[in-house]
Structure 1
Amino acid sequence: MTPRVRAPELPQNYAWLNTDKPLSLKELRGRVVILDFWTYCCINCLHILPDLKYLEHKYKDSLTVIGVHSAKFDNEKETENIRQAILRYDIEHPVVVDQEFRIWQEYTVRAWPTFMIINPQGYVIGNISGEGKRDVLDKLIAKVIEEHQQKGAINFQQISHILEKQQQPIISPLAFPGKVLATPAGLFIADSGHHRLVMSSLNGEVLNVIGTGKPGLKDGSFSEAQFSAPQGMAFDVESQSLIVADTENHALRRIDLKHQVVETIAGTGEQSRNIYPHVGHALATALNSPWDLVKVGNILFIAMAGSHQIWQMDLETNIVRTYAGTGAEGCVDGTLTEAAFAQPSGMTTDGQELYIADSEISSIRAVGIVEPYQVRTVCGSQQLFGFGDVDGQGTDLRLQHCMGVEYAQNFLWVADTYNHKIKLVSPNSGNCQTILGDGVAGLHDGKGHNSRFFEPSGLSAMGNYLYISDTNNHAIRRLDLNTFEVTTLKFAGLCAPDICLPAENF
């Protein structure tokens, strides 16, 4: 292995997170350094975080990982928003904010995620792009350490950093809630950052807390079950059960409300690497970041964000299969087998079509669930880099990484996540208008454009109210559909898992 390129030095005058001072490659001589080029919208970038954490712990005295956040969306360029992403995904290595892609260009990076491997002498010895590279990186790091240990060129020393979660711990009752679901049984909240589900009345009276609050994959009673960053939910009225997309466990879980037990009904707990359309028994088939759910009769539709597809599960036969999407990331309309999606993250239905918040192309898509079973684009740019904040119609309007959509009263409510707005879309004409929010991240109740949100990502309507999961505000907001007044729900007695154990009190 012959080093060829001296690694360009990292800028000291950029914003750095998860560290009390900028890091330089010169100071890190004697250590293996991995630069992880990422952006926090990207599902592939999120998939590699557990691999990096594994390597960081395995080689904690000889490896330094530095995240280089090179933003795709405008909203991701804001340092505070990146800090929130670090807290949300529990990132424990230093991160530098790569302004205007300077570091990206100096290292000639072409895709997210990309790893640049730098040896203890400060030379780039290789780069790897994509996810699922843990074993390759593990072997390479071990080889580099062995080679340089023989030369006496390894600086074995554990380095600690002041983390954002130490400076800004999340102690609020909810933490980065992803999705919300209003049902006749009550309001269900995916308390994603606390790895649990919260059930309340529609007015915020806490009825149940489901899960220990510690990440894991464990079935059992409400007080012993474990989830990992759960997201979308579907309610079965007949059986009084809730089905949950347990996103970071790559699994589907069923919550039996009557008997107060949790069971896994789909997924193996491992991430699928198979993007090609396939079929199998639910518990024997690996899934890939299921993000949202819609139940139609005995069929459960799944927004499979990690493989850019829509899946379905027959709840009678327990068979799961790809429903729409080739697995390629993009925007292709047409038949179910030729369509392409880009990280579908929200889903709703009118009984004839599924409506999809296709976040990476900032578009709303429609998928037929009755003949002629076609996929169409309702509105949005249809381009991976076509985003903005422009009301209008069809392909003329611009959204920015929309993650939530809800069908109600013949319209689609859209959580335009990175624009911090709630918009209203006609599913037929594709006309889109801003209803809530002024585009500035914040927490402010009020009417219409006087309200403010911070990356809202979940919506659910029932009766005269629209419930909004206001993710980065750690809040659930409620819109009165008659007055357009936004209020913030209070959950008396609910607290963070590390502060108290509320499940025993309800």
Structure 2
Amino acid sequence: MRTYAGANPAPEFPPAMDWLNTGGRELSIEELGGKVILLDFWTYGCINCLHIIPDLKRLEEKYAEELVVIGVHSGKFERESRTTAIRRFVQRYQIMHPVVNDKDFEIWKAYGARAWPTLVVIDPVGNIVGQVSGEGHYDLLDTVIGGLVEEFEIDRSDLNLVAEERPGGQLSFPGKVLADAANDRLFIADTGNHRIVVAGLDGQVRQLIGGGQAGYADGGFGEARFRLPQGMALLDKDTLLLADTENHAIRRIDLAGKTVSTVAGNGRQAYMFDNLAGPGDALNSPWDLLRVGDTVYVAMAGQHQVWTLDPASGRLKAFAGSRREQLKDGKLLSAGLNQPSGLTTDGENLFIADSEASAIRSADLDAGGRLHTLLGTGLFDFGDVDGRGRKVKLQHPLGVAWNAGVIYIADTYNSKIKRLEPDSLEVVSLTPGEPTLEEPGGLSVAGQYLYIADTNNHRVRILDLESGELTDFVLHDPEGLLEATPRQ
């Protein structure tokens, strides 16, 4: 009979670290003896780390009494080293297992981790079984954990963990916004509530799209289900496209008929698929959408590419990015992108928030064109520095918006809005950092106003581009629509 038992003792967790989902108590390898332990070395801005969260939840459900998953958060970015920021992410993605803030990479080094994510299995007597990096390893982990459960005597007692309480309110971690001045309305991706809120520019709530629970279903507005939706694009006044990010799909919303259908994707993630996809093929974390003429551009964050979508046929093809995560300029499909998460245009160029490289990129709209870097110098070069050109430092920007010759940037991990002059490459901060904004994820312009998805503050804000005044976009909901559906 094959044994899955480990040979070398697992290093113990250092003392005096911050723990989440434990009620404040520190855990130890010794205390967890009798259970299978799965360590997940991750950093919350990494798309590959996001991709394995559903696998971890499946394993936790299958081995509810036998397995304890521990997220070892070894943050890449300065912001990701803060326990308060990690807590917000844990709340947003409803992570229920213990998470330890390994901000100085002590646990990372002790276990020899080299990449995000890295998964380490520890047997019930505290020995390391093995480790694997990357995503797509559910079947392997299931086999190993199942083998350990059969081989060892398991302690099935409850650990009495205490999950971080999720904040309430009208919105929950809104990720993107889309202002439609012509029709006096604002679309809000109410990401944490898995729905779209449609409001007038006066703040009056008009419609909810999606039942408020995570899922994947077409149908009427109350029956449809999304999973952590993000970017949106209008095809016409009655047709909204939605990047249903965690469902790896693009959805079509008929605003007049009040129905939702699927244009592309099938609810499952593709792993580095080819450069063509049909309407029923799997996609890889579409994060933002932008319509230019008859073409819809898709920020395919999980694929490190930008794609184009023909909304009539549902067919997609790669437009820019080699699928290799690198800050490399050149011909569109030879150049590298790094988790592109926001799109905008001046009508001639596509501007991209290239989040993992803390960069702003520019692509020629001509399919035979090239990809250029406006801001950013490397995947591990980040900071909060205004200035010009290569002196500028951003930190994981997720949103961009073009208006009147200027690119506005949601410099997400610096919690600021910045203005980029594309000719001079001069960057100026328009807002202070926290607590004014906290991890803003999306931007949209209507007239003189810049609408901001103030993600971790669970609200939308308005920046007057003429006066510089920053105010709240107050939602008026006399009919109680925002509370009409249960949430998860």
TM-score between the two structures when normalised by the length of structure 2: 0.96
Q: How does 1:334-349 map to 2 (within 5 A)?
A: 334-349=330-345
Cα distance in 2 for residues equivalent to 1:207 and 1:4 = 61
Secondary structure at the counterpart of residue 207 of structure 1: strand
Query: Where does residue 171 of structure 1 map in the other structure?
Result: 168
Q: Is the 8 A contact 1:301 1:312 kept in 2?
A: yes
Cα distance in 1 for residues equivalent to 2:63 and 2:218 = 32
Query: Where does residue 455 of structure 2 map in the other structure?
Result: 471
Aligned-residue identity in percent:
47
User: Is residue 375 of structure 1 aligned with residue 359 of structure 2?
Assistant: no
Q: 1:457 aligns with which of 441, 444, 449?
A: 441
Query: Where does residue 251 of structure 1 map in the other structure?
Result: 249
Change (3 A) 1:303 1:142: same
Cα distance in 2 for residues equivalent to 1:342 and 1:495 = 43
Query: Where does residue 215 of structure 2 map in the other structure?
Result: 216
CA deviation digits over 1:393-413, x for unaligned, max 9?
222210000111000010000
Moved more, 80-89 or 393-402: 393-402
* Code of the aligned partner of 1:318: G
Q: How far did 1:13 drift?
A: 1.1
Q: Is the 8 A contact 1:171 1:499 kept in 2?
A: no
Query: Where does residue 324 of structure 2 map in the other structure?
Result: 328
Change (3 A) 1:162 1:176: same
CA deviation digits over 1:297-332, x for unaligned, max 9?
111100000010000111233311111111111111
* Code of the aligned partner of 1:181: L
Query: Where does residue 85 of structure 1 map in the other structure?
Result: 89
CA deviation digits over 1:175-207, x for unaligned, max 9?
000000001231000000000000001121111
Instruction: Please list every run of 5 or more consecutive structure 1 residues that lacks an aligned counterpart in the other structure.
Output: 443-451
Cα distance in 2 for residues equivalent to 1:493 and 1:48 = 37
User: Is residue 299 of structure 1 aligned with residue 295 of structure 2?
Assistant: yes
Query: Where does residue 205 of structure 1 map in the other structure?
Result: 204
Q: Is the 8 A contact 1:493 1:502 kept in 2?
A: no
Q: How far did 1:3 drift?
A: 2.6
Q: Is the 8 A contact 1:494 1:502 kept in 2?
A: no
Change (3 A) 1:351 1:100: same
Moved more, 243-252 or 266-275: 266-275
Change (3 A) 1:500 1:218: same
Cα distance in 2 for residues equivalent to 1:495 and 1:5 = 61
User: Is residue 100 of structure 1 aligned with residue 98 of structure 2?
Assistant: no
Secondary structure at the counterpart of residue 405 of structure 1: strand
Cα distance in 2 for residues equivalent to 1:278 and 1:499 = 42
Aligned residues: 481
Q: 1:493 aligns with which of 471, 477, 480?
A: 477
CA deviation digits over 1:66-122, x for unaligned, max 9?
000001000111111000000011101000111310110111110000011100110
Query: Where does residue 271 of structure 1 map in the other structure?
Result: 269
Change (3 A) 1:249 1:79: same
Q: How far did 1:497 drift?
A: 8.4
Q: How far did 1:498 drift?
A: 9.0
Cα distance in 2 for residues equivalent to 1:494 and 1:481 = 30
Change (3 A) 1:356 1:494: farther
User: Is residue 6 of structure 1 aligned with residue 31 of structure 2?
Assistant: no
Q: How far did 1:495 drift?
A: 9.8
Cα distance in 1 for residues equivalent to 2:467 and 2:195 = 32
Instruction: Please list every run of 5 or more consecutive structure 2 residues that lacks an aligned counterpart in the other structure.
Output: none
Query: Where does residue 282 of structure 2 map in the other structure?
Result: 286
Q: Is the 8 A contact 1:378 1:428 kept in 2?
A: no
Q: 2:421 aligns with which of 426, 431, 435?
A: 426
Cα distance in 1 for residues equivalent to 2:361 and 2:233 = 20
Secondary structure at the counterpart of residue 456 of structure 1: coil
User: Is residue 114 of structure 1 aligned with residue 109 of structure 2?
Assistant: no
TM-score between the two structures when normalised by the length of structure 1: 0.92
Change (3 A) 1:34 1:502: closer
Secondary structure at the counterpart of residue 273 of structure 1: coil
Q: Is the 8 A contact 2:213 2:486 kept in 1?
A: no
Q: How far did 1:499 drift?
A: 4.5
Q: How far did 1:278 drift?
A: 1.7
CA deviation digits over 1:270-301, x for unaligned, max 9?
101124x421322x221100000001111110
* Code of the aligned partner of 1:126: G
Q: Is the 8 A contact 1:400 1:418 kept in 2?
A: yes
Root mean square deviation of aligned Cα: 1.7
Q: How does 1:9-158 map to 2 (within 5 A)?
A: 9-20=12-23, 21-148=25-152, 153-158=153-158
Secondary structure at the counterpart of residue 365 of structure 1: strand
Secondary structure at the counterpart of residue 104 of structure 2: helix
Cα distance in 1 for residues equivalent to 2:21 and 2:478 = 29
Q: Is the 8 A contact 2:321 2:332 kept in 1?
A: yes
